[in-house]
Amino acid sequence: MFGSPDPLMGMSNFWEGDAAQMRNIKYGYIHQSNFKMDTHVQNILAQCTQRMYLIKLLKHQGMPQQQLSVITYSIIVSRILYALPAWGGFVSVELKNRINAFFKRLRRFGYTNCVICIDDLINRSDY
């Protein structure tokens, strides 16, 4: 009655479940069963947009542009680069355009020194 719980108790229900119940699995990126990266890219861009607000606050407090660029690469571009070799090949043209539009916004607001392109990042991350 008061023994240790069975570690496999309830696992049979787990394996009997529908494949639709396990849509997204995280491996450093969000893997969808249809090999699309919509959810992953949406999640990344939402996080990066929140981080952009932090950089905006730093800019309004008078941080120099060179330091803003370093912070942008550290907390935004690095987030996009994380596990890019694993998910970059599955990104559709539409998603690439969304990511590139985000990079253009970073440049327009003065957070980076140059325009970044997702295709360049994917090609460099393969090495």
Q: What is the pLDDT of residues 41-94, one digit of tens each?
A: 888 999 999 999 999 999 999 999 999 999 999 999 999 998 888 888 888 999
C-alpha span between 9 and 52 (Å, rounded):
45
What's the pLDDT at 91?
A: 87
C-alpha span between 12 and 66 (Å, rounded):
56
Report residue 3 CA to chain centroid gap.
44
Question: Mind listing the pLDDT tens digit for each residue in 85-124?
Answer: 888 888 899 999 999 999 999 999 999 988 899 999 999 8
Lowest-confidence pick of 2-6, 17-21, 75-79, 92-96: 17-21
Pairing label, strands 30-32, 24-26: antiparallel
C-alpha span between 114 and 127 (Å, rounded):
22
Residue 40 has pLDDT above 90, yes or no: no
- Taken in order 48, 112, 75, 66, the sign of the CA dihedral is negative
